[in-house]
Every structure is written in C-alpha cells, then in structure tokens.
Amino acid sequence: MRTLFSNPYFNASFCSWFTAQALKVILTLIKEKKLDFYRFVGSGGMPSSHSAMVMGLSTAIGLKMGWDSLEYAVSIIFSLIIMYDASGVRRAVGKQAMILNQMIKDRQQNKQIEEKQLKELVGHTPIEVFAGAILGILIANLLI
C-alpha cells in the first residue's frame, strides 16, 4: 500500500478526485445551506470528479513521461472518452430519470405505487466536466 501512495501518477489522480469531491460538499453547503456528506461519494455535480481524476492522471503522465509519449496518448484518449461519457451518456440517463420520477409522482396522485424514484444526478453538464478537467490539470501541475 505504501508503494501505491508513493506513485506520483496515483497521487495526482487521487488528489484531483478528492479535491473535486470535497468541493462538491463545500459548494452544496454554500448553495443549499446544508452539510450533505453524500455529495462526497455521490456522482454528478460541480466539479466533475471523473474529469478531475482522469485529467490529473493524464497531466501527470504528460509532465513525467512527455507529451509525445505513448502513455500520454493512451491516457488522454481514455480521458476524453470518460469526459464525453460523463457529459453525454450519463447526462442523458439523468434526464430520463427526472422524467420517469415525474411520471411516478403523477401516477402516485391517482394510485399507490411502490416504485422508488430513480437517482437524477448521474451525469454532468459540459461546464462541470470542463471545471473537473481544469482542476485535475492544476493539481497534477502542483504535485508533479
């Protein structure tokens, strides 16, 4: 375990993720005036911890191994796929959940329904993905 935490690539990724998740708790406290520790482990919200983590990794690889290295190329390609998924596919799933939840509420007004509502905060807006990516880049530059 000690070798894992001495790995600069892991540290840049982990610190980027941790910071993004902590910022979600802080921003929720400021915006909603409540301390919601679920935001530390939950998905969705500002900034994207997925984007922060993968861009922290990619930036660390670029800084250590070179921007023209095979490792950086592989890392940045996978980072872009993950960020696209966060803002595209997962965002669409969240919108579908909102619609289904409204349908359940409407139906419940007429008849008792046992279905639980779906989680709506699944994906990210493009600005949340961008903010997470910038956060990961900044943290990797600070740590490497």
Distance CA 56, CA 142 (A): 10
Residue 68 forms part of a structural domain: yes
Q: Could you report the average pLDDT of every consecutive run of 10 residues in the chain (144 residues)?
A: 86 95 92 85 83 96 97 96 81 77 80 63 76 88 88
Give pLDDT, residue 123: 66
Residue 32 forms part of a structural domain: yes
Give pLDDT, residue 21: 94
- Split into its structural domains, the chain has a count of 1
Give pLDDT, residue 112: 63
45: left (phi over 0), alpha (psi -120 to 50) or beta: left
Residue 8 forms part of a structural domain: yes
Residue 118 forms part of a structural domain: no
83: left (phi over 0), alpha (psi -120 to 50) or beta: alpha
Are 140 and 12 in contact by the 8 Å Cβ rule? The answer is yes
Of the candidates 59, 80, 63, the one whose C-alpha atom is nearest the C-alpha of residue 138 is 59
Distance CA 121, CA 3 (A): 35
Domain around 70: 2-88+123-143
Are 44 and 12 in contact by the 8 Å Cβ rule? The answer is no
Residue 134 forms part of a structural domain: yes
